[in-house]
Amino acid sequence: MGLKEKRAVQKVQDGQAKYEEKLSEATGSNLTFDVNWDSFMENEKAIIMLPNGLFARLTKGLKKICNDDLGKEAIQGSLKKIVVEHVEDPADKSVKLEGDTLHISVALHNSSKGIFTDNDYSKIISGAL
């Protein structure tokens, strides 16, 4: 990872707590993003896209699920950890709830095909609960 990518990572990490706070407010759980920074390697665009392309959209999607007590209880009982990784090929993007961990793989550098919408997150996660 070069200097410009390291600076981009630092900027995202500096703002990450704000998104985690919104995530906790939406779900009533103390959830954090566990980002596999090594998967982003030399892709500055993907790093820069992380806050809006994933953090904000996932939070909106979870907020839709948690709009009532049943949704909040389902999330609180099923989700303890969120793991994020970057993939090069948009065809490899995925969202999977395995045990109590939500695994998200996105191709953030290809924003038209490599990311999920808040509706996608809501539908996929609701279907896994």
**3 state SS for 79-98:** CCEEEEEECCCHHHCEEEEE
Note the pLDDT tens digit of each residue in 57-97: 999 999 999 999 999 999 998 999 999 999 999 999 999 99
Query: For the chain, what are the domain ranges?
Result: 3-128
**How much is the pTM?**
0.91
Give the highest mean pLDDT range of 44-48, 50-54, 82-86, 110-114: 82-86
| Residues forming a β-bridge with 97 | 102
Note the pLDDT tens digit of each residue in 90-123: 999 999 999 999 999 999 987 779 999 999 999 9
Percentage of residues in the chain having pLDDT higher than 70: 100
The side-by-side arrangement of strands in the sheet containing 81-86 is 33-35, 81-86, 101-106, 94-98
Mean pLDDT estimate for the chain: 92
Query: In terms of DSSP bridges, do strands 81-86 and 33-35 run parallel, antiparallel, or are they unpaired?
Result: parallel
